[in-house]
Amino acid sequence: MKKTTTFLLALTAPFYFAQQAGDLVSAEKKLDLTPQGVANFIANNLGEQNAPDFVSYLNGFNVGLKGYKITYYTKNEKNNLVKATGMLMFPNVNFKLSTVVSDHGTTDSRNNVPSNFKGTMTAGFVVELSYVLNGYILMAPDYVGMGTGDGVHPYVDYATEAGATIDFMTAANKVLAQLGIKRYDEYFLAGYSQGGHAAMSTLKRLSISNPNNIKFKYAYMGDGPYDMSETTLKKGVLEKDIYPFTAFLANVLNSCNNAGYKTYTNNISEVISAEYLDKYNYYVVQDNGGLLWGPVIWRKLFTNNFINDVTNNSNHIFRQCLQQKDVYNWYNKTPMTLGHATIDLAIPPENTSKTIDVQRGYYPWWDLNKYQLESFYWGPVGHVGGIVPFVLASNAKFNTLRSGGFLNQWAIAGSVFGKQSTNKTSEIYPLSSSQIKPELGNMQLIEVADFNKEKAAKRPAINNNLSSLKDGVYLLKVSENNENKLIPYIKNTPAEIAENEIVQSEINTVLKLKLDQDQLSSVNIFDENKTLIKTISKEQYREAGGIDLNGLDHQSYTFEIVTPFYNLQFNKAIGGNLVSENNADIFTQNQQIKAKAKNDIKNISVYSISGALILQQEINRPQFESRSLDSGVYMVQITLANGKVINKKVKL
């Protein structure tokens, strides 16, 4: 491939004005690939994220790509103006595109960054590449001190991660305007691992100061260390003997020292053990990179005095530094999902559950918008193993929300036939129509690839039915119009809430919800056997002034509320307070798990999201209340007196 270099400087500030953050320095064309060139590029840039089904999915996009290395100005940890770099990519198409801003995870070298089409160790460039192949403009900053940017990278630093991301968007937008790329005015935000922290930092910064009125339609983060000072430090490190990436801890420590949180009095040897002092100086201080040089037993990296001080002194200077890196505790109004592996030795999954609990806590109890902040868990795949589920899940979510349509079909139609239909936003992609009884529409399911295990597993399709899938991330092989294709799919059982939490009124057999009707996509009504009785569209809801209950028999129903960002469900008995003999009502209240059934509950078992048994108890009565439990996600299994077993996921 012949590399072409172009410098775009026309939009930078004139030389006689002082430079400022967001100013464009240069844009160098690094890629201009045909579809065949893209296939070769994919083969060389996946790292070890090369599960056959996943590779087939990426190769299924027949599109050319263009990429530009952007150099721009931002501010470092000392608030000084510095040059930083990043990658701007987009598919070579003639229709309008939405934009994904992608913050990358921790890398083992300043060279393994998006502007060089690389990622850390086994990760490759797969995260960023997936968004471009799916038909998005990609904006991917390298961060301060990475790529060919100035200085040394301040690891997991709120201010510079947010600044580098926002300033890169400003610079990249100038390049896109000069190139004349067709765009929708909408952005999505993504980030995995440290990238999740960077994405959350970006949202937090914009909630405080947003002079350019940047808005993200949706954010999807994975396995991020949002709570550095408590969850990541205590649960991930201090309470464990083994930490898989101790070199990461060393880099965070060095960043604290450089940012004014000096952890030693005279020499770094007061903190780093003699055994690893030379390696620390070579890999960290001299910025030679590497994430595998540290010991697996993390205490060997540090001196005993430092370990004791950090463990026992909650006001230790290192803990103070980590508190400045915390990004979980603020009023977040951007719809988002935080995904996480149920087992992650590097970044404990409690980072995700705590962040969602705290951020939802800023909403009034009656405000259903708190449910637009979701947590999601894709199985015990570990930190590195979570990359592919994150890629599939984030693309699936963004695709359902973008203005161009799930497959950019509306954008393509607009480029061919002119102005798009104004009614397109009321259409629901079949796979988004329900999470209780997912529909495939005109598609025929051929095969399902399960990415919620350490090794992706295939299973044959059964009667075109997705309802039997457990919550998780999948790749569906489907056939439509005699053409096979692979589609990412998220199975996520809707959260169950009490009727009075969502129903505002019931007048003349019409249920009016507390939800703004403009946020509603549809309502699905299921009987006790989870058979779909009817679906009420947004238009039907608006015409009736709510959910029209006329025609429903006297029994218990499940109402699934479908919105673009989340689904909820609640149970309601029509014609009396009915509970089926083969069912039980399982719910949470006041930090307790509660259950009630028509007849006796024989026994109950409660498990944590990671599979640990929390409680197991013989009941032999119709009602149950647990002791007060910690916040988190739990799996509840109930056995009724008649032998019926009921499983349900609940959240405290």
166 pLDDT above the threshold of 60: yes
pLDDT (average), residues 320-346: 98
188 pLDDT above the threshold of 50: yes
Instruction: List Cβ neighbours of 119 (8 Å cut-off, separation of 6 or more).
Output: 47, 104, 105, 107, 112, 113, 125, 126, 127, 128
pLDDT (average), residues 246-255: 97
Place of tokens 């954010």: 219
Least confident of 61-75, 85-99, 305-319, 583-597: 583-597
Residue 471, pLDDT score: 95
- Tell me the CA distances in angstroms from 145 to 82, 123, 195, 639, one per residue in order: 9, 20, 15, 57
Report the CATH number of the 584-651 domain.
Answer: 2.60.40.1930
Residue 51, pLDDT score: 75
Length reported for the chain: 652
What is the torsion angle, in degrees rounded to the nearest 10, for the CA atoms of residue 16, residue 20, residue 25 and residue 31? -160
pLDDT (average), residues 60-67: 95
CA distance 648 to 587: 9
462 pLDDT above the threshold of 80: no
Residue 30, pLDDT score: 96
4 pLDDT above the threshold of 50: no
pLDDT (average), residues 445-452: 93
Which two tokens mark 311?
Answer: 């463990």
15 pLDDT above the threshold of 50: no
In contact, 123 and 47? CB cutoff 8 Å: yes
Percent of the chain at pLDDT > 70 equals 93
Residue 583, pLDDT score: 75
Domain 24-227+328-401: which CATH number of 3.60.15.10, 2.40.160.20, 3.40.50.1820, 1.20.120.420:
3.40.50.1820
Residue 75, pLDDT score: 98
Residue 418, pLDDT score: 64
Least confident of 288-302, 351-365, 418-432, 520-534: 418-432
237 pLDDT above the threshold of 50: yes
Q: How many helices (H) and strands (E) does the chain have?
A: 15, 26
Burial class, 119, CB count within 10 angstroms (exposed 0-12 / middle 13-18 / buried 19+): buried
pLDDT (average), residues 358-374: 96
In contact, 353 and 375? CB cutoff 8 Å: yes
Going by pLDDT thresholds of 50, 70 and 90, the confidence category of residue 12 is: very low
pLDDT (average), residues 543-558: 92
2 pLDDT above the threshold of 70: no
137 pLDDT above the threshold of 80: yes
Residue 446, pLDDT score: 93
The sign one gets for the Cα dihedral 403, 196, 207, 156 is: negative
Burial class, 27, CB count within 10 angstroms (exposed 0-12 / middle 13-18 / buried 19+): buried
Domain residue spans of the chain: 24-227+328-401, 246-322, 428-491, 495-562, 584-651
6 pLDDT above the threshold of 60: no
Residue 582, pLDDT score: 65
Going by pLDDT thresholds of 50, 70 and 90, the confidence category of residue 120 is: confident
pLDDT (average), residues 435-446: 92
pLDDT (average), residues 40-52: 78
626: DSSP letter: P
Least confident of 8-12, 431-435, 589-593: 8-12
| Mean residue pLDDT across the chain | 91
Residue 139, pLDDT score: 99
Choose among 477, 397, 451: nearest CA to 429: 397
Instruction: List Cβ neighbours of 269 (8 Å cut-off, separation of 6 or more).
Output: 277, 303
pTM of the model: 0.87
pLDDT (average), residues 114-128: 83
235 pLDDT above the threshold of 60: yes
11 pLDDT above the threshold of 80: no
CA distance 258 to 218: 34
Going by pLDDT thresholds of 50, 70 and 90, the confidence category of residue 579 is: low
Residue 647, pLDDT score: 86
Percent of the chain at pLDDT > 90 equals 75
pLDDT (average), residues 376-397: 95
Least confident of 17-21, 534-538, 572-576: 572-576
270 pLDDT above the threshold of 80: yes
Secondary structure of residue 631 in the 3-state scheme: coil
